[in-house]
Structure 1
Amino acid sequence: MATVDRRNLLRAAVAAPLVTVAAEPAAAHPAARPAAHPQRFALAVLPDTQYLFDADSADPAPLRETFRYLIEQRDVVFMTHLGDITEHGTAEEIALAGDCFRRLDGRLPYSVLAGNHDVSGDDQRGSTAYLKEFGPSRFAGRPTFAGASPDGYNSAHLFTAGGRKWLVLALDWRISDGGLAWADGVLKAHPRVPAIVTTHDLAYADDAGVAALSEHGSRLWERLIRGNDQIFLTLNGHYWPPGRTVLRNDAGHDVHVHITNYQDRYYGGAAMIRLYTFDLARDTIDVETFAPWFLGRKPAARTPLEAETVELTGPADRFGLPIDFDARFAGFDPPALPAPRPARSVVDRHTAAYWRFDGAGQAVTDGSVVRDLSGNHNDLFVRRLANSAQNVLTVSTAHHIAQPAHASLHFDGGKNPDRGAVLHTAPDAALNSMKFLGGYTIEAFLKLPEPFAGDHAWMGLLSWEGRSGYAGKTSGWSPLEPTCSLNLSPERFLQYVVYPADRDADPTSWSHALPTGRWMHVAVVNDAHRTVVWIDGSKIARNPAQPSRGIATLGRPFVLGATSFDLKYGQGFYGWIGDVRITTRALRPDQFLTATT
């Protein structure tokens, strides 16, 4: 039977605050509403509910259902209202709304602000029915309440989710100069906290959903938002249709400007909410818009108008918002990076070799040496391929956040012409002939560039030299390929190929498509029975079940930065490689180099 070409097989498969209020005891008001997932939480946004509180045609039933829904959702940690709570701002309308909002008290933290239908004039208007019902006294003692402006119409709220604090500024629809100074003071009092500005009138949108600042919004932008890098998101109602845009602040960072308002929809919007689900693991905010009042009804029982309003899926209502949170907040709250760990903290009697690139004066010119810090003298020697320039291999300070050393090597390899560099052990290094019959773990930190341009298909990360046919192996793709290699396919699938020491076989592990532009930790673990590849502490799916013990090494060098074929190198690695460790036993994920304790 003809030998299957594992590489072509893969190709075919792919084709087919100024006033701070102390918290009350936890028994009265829970100190926190933790999300169900530590890196995922939701902010609920509720715009103009005015038609539900409109004199004698008021009907708060939709809002009560929305509140019931939000209270039951563990991922929702805070709700913010965008103003125009009522239609006329009368004492009767305000009182009815206030009673409805009491359903949230002590159950879900929230903020409110006044819109033009609730009040008139700017925030120096004095006492109003709105202020008596929704002023600072309503929130006093709440754990998330961080204070209010002296006039009482602007408030600040702090909540904790996803391992950090977040600030919501709820600003009056016509904030005064004094109010702006107060808001700026709140930001300066919490200089490391990312902030969301909520107000009633900031931006409007055209029919295509493209937003632009209103006259009042331009004032807010110039006087408060653009100069405070903490503000990364603004939310307002007032106008319809909904829309969004991205503005660039004075620090050169994005500020996302969003309008959400559905009062023009059936039943005055039916207390429709927008959920902003922050997913810190994916660096994304997922946005969705729906009406819990209609969602709770059986589909067959919904009227046509209810059915078309239950959820909005247009580009202004349902979308993903990619945000690299660490990078976006680095200017005012840089992530606390762990200190480098000394080699002795990650080396033990089972360590066969450990290389890192943070040594004083580490050179990478041809012939330079990278010391094996395990003490086993498996040093690496630098050699460039063909006539490659010096810049195909450089020392970099880039590194994985959990990497012991705060340095890496940047490889600028490629196919045409043969370009790149390798680091290889000496001809007599002990590592060259080790069979690892008792098991092994090979670990490496790596990062692929963004964008991942050019032809880098089948580039190698590491390998042992040697023609597999010379080891008596006939089962694989070619007798000229090495006995062990870690490679990258054209689809950015990681491929680990090993010819075991104890049998004629070539069990091959395949990963998913590796991401670009971020660091990863890769671990190849063999327990003397089977090989399993892990990426970022997660076991990949395509680990073969067939037996595999040891590595059929032939006494030839171990190589970092490329994979040989017929003892020749056609291209070098493209990207960054950080610390590399080889251990003579199978490690658990909590024993990988990423473990900090």
Structure 2
Amino acid sequence: MRFQHCAALLALALGSTASIAPVTANETGKRDPGSFTIAVIPDTQNYLDYAHQTEEGFPFNAREIFYDQMAYIARNAQSEGGDIAFAVAVGDVWQHATSKMDDAHARMGLKAIPNKLADSILAPDQRAVTVEMPIARKGYRMIAGKLPFAVVPGNHDYDANWSDSRFPPAEDYRNPGTNKYPYGQLHYGGLANFNAVFGKDSDLFKGKPWYVGSHNGGANSAALFTAGGYRFLHIGLEMAPTDEVLAWAEAQVKAHPGLPTIVTIHDHLSPAGKREPISVVDFKAVHSEHNNAEDLWTKFLSRHDQIFLVLSGHQHGQAHRVDKNAMGHDVHQVLADYQDRHQSLIQAAPGVKPRLGLGIGDGWLRLMRFELGGAAPRIVVSTYSTLYKSNAAQLPTYSAFYKAKEKPELSDAAFVGEEEFTLPLDGFANRFARARTK
């Protein structure tokens, strides 16, 4: 589909939206030494998709929304006088694979089959290398040198993408009968593309003193940052990590004992708050050595007391839950993924009916403000759009834009409450006393 509307129409259509941004130290000139913000960058694949640029006839360059997100983070980094101490991307940086099957899986004798639904929007394309990956590099270079950050791979960031012949899709996915996988099973392999941009030897991370560990070339990473009077450890994991990867992650925890630890992985929670994969992307179903989200909780997350927060994307929507670890302490788990939102497209191209493959994201970021200096430490979570320049709670049309598709069963207030909430950090000071910097 080619669109004839120009990019200027988008700016005109959005010109009357709210302009209330989160208060940052960069705007006030003051910063509470016990507080700081982590910027969470949800799946950006639709901003970077080569098909979502004016060169391909799209009504605007979706990449500009991504650049605006990165510019916002750079502008509000603590090094620039702002409040953001760390940033993390939850994966699916770009959209397309570049091959049908990687060599490692081909050697296993696996076979690909046609999948009409997936092939129509996810067929491998070399424009991932010539268009999408360069956009990613440009965006992340905007924050490189401003603050520590991490990026984890999502399924779209793998080199290869195919439909596994062992899991044929139902003839009619809406009436699958006994077929457990009505859409088939998408299979992914190879991380050379991801490591070319975000690997341990990339210019984004090589030589950075805060980048303290990696595995599988950088598909898994460890980083340190200091903020709010504490030193923190961040561990980024590849999708459905094997036991070998978990052994590496455990070694990182043991190498940094007592530090409050955040773990980011592409797929962990569903929008219903369950630790379960979507049916069409189930790494454990295709290879049993992969660990799913429940395995990850049992084998790793719940066993290490210094892990207190888990971040994820992948599954369209938002959710959060808390579970007690083996030591009886809270572990907060938070999902944020806005890739399927497309109000920006509706406003830029009136009359166009968005369909599968035409999501954008609308500029939404998660901002997690840690307030650790008081008697009741907490994380104040907000959701902010760099496109609308507004928090979810301050955008009058927020529920009208998104609720019917995402969580129609909720009231408007409850739907906004999914984006603006507080996570109590009970006992944080005692639990992490040895990590204090002063």
1:233–1:255 Cα contact (<8 Å) kept: yes
SS in 1 for 2:419: coil
CA distance in 1, matches of 2:30, 2:305: 26
Distance 1:200 1:184, change over 3 A: same
Which ranges of structure 1 fall in alignment gaps of 5 or more residues? 1-33, 338-597
Letter in 2 for 1:104: I
Matching residue of 2:424 = 322
Q: CA deviation at 1:316?
A: 1.9
**Pick aligned residue for 2:96 from 88, 101, 104:** 88
**Pick aligned residue for 2:300 from 202, 211, 224:** 224
Matching residue of 1:290 = 384
The alignment's TM-score, normalised by the length of structure 2, stands at 0.61
Distance 1:328 1:246, change over 3 A: farther
2:159–2:192 Cα contact (<8 Å) kept: no
SS in 1 for 2:252: helix
User: Which structure has more strand as a fraction of its residues?
Assistant: 1
Matching residue of 2:362 = 270
Matching residue of 1:130 = 194
User: Which structure has more helix as a fraction of its residues?
Assistant: 2
SS in 2 for 1:201: coil
**Pick aligned residue for 1:46 from 41, 66, 69:** 41
Matched-pair identity in %: 32
Question: 1:77 and 2:141 equivalent?
Answer: no
2:200–2:217 Cα contact (<8 Å) kept: no
Counterparts of residues 475-486 of structure 1 (less than 5 Å): none
1:114–1:200 Cα contact (<8 Å) kept: yes
CA distance in 2, matches of 1:271, 1:46: 10
Letter in 1 for 2:66: L
2:270–2:319 Cα contact (<8 Å) kept: yes
Letter in 2 for 1:250: A
Higher relative contact order (CA 8 A, sep 6+): 2
Task: Give the ranges of 4+ consecutive aligned residues of structure 1 lying more than 4 Å apart after TM superposition.
Answer: 124-127, 302-309, 334-337
Distance 1:336 1:219, change over 3 A: same
Q: CA deviation at 1:99?
A: 1.7
Cα offsets for 1:547-573 (capped at 9, x unmatched): xxxxxxxxxxxxxxxxxxxxxxxxxxx
Which ranges of structure 2 fall in alignment gaps of 5 or more residues? 1-28, 54-61, 77-81, 98-127, 162-187, 278-290, 345-359, 403-411
Q: CA deviation at 1:333?
A: 3.8
How many residue pairs align between the two structures? 294
Q: CA deviation at 1:256?
A: 0.7
Cα offsets for 1:502-554 (capped at 9, x unmatched): xxxxxxxxxxxxxxxxxxxxxxxxxxxxxxxxxxxxxxxxxxxxxxxxxxxxx
SS in 2 for 1:204: coil
**Pick aligned residue for 1:154 from 220, 234, 256:** 220
CA distance in 2, matches of 1:224, 1:217: 10
Matching residue of 1:279 = 371
Letter in 2 for 1:50: Q
Q: CA deviation at 1:270?
A: 2.4
1:35–1:161 Cα contact (<8 Å) kept: no
CA distance in 1, matches of 2:233, 2:295: 21
CA distance in 2, matches of 1:127, 1:240: 23
CA distance in 1, matches of 2:300, 2:149: 23
**Pick aligned residue for 1:234 from 306, 310, 326:** 310
SS in 2 for 1:158: strand
Distance 1:336 1:162, change over 3 A: closer
Letter in 2 for 1:129: N
CA distance in 2, matches of 1:121, 1:231: 32
Distance 1:336 1:168, change over 3 A: closer
The alignment's TM-score, normalised by the length of structure 1, stands at 0.46
Superposed CA RMSD: 3.2
Matching residue of 2:52 = 57
Matching residue of 1:116 = 155
The higher radius of gyration belongs to: 1
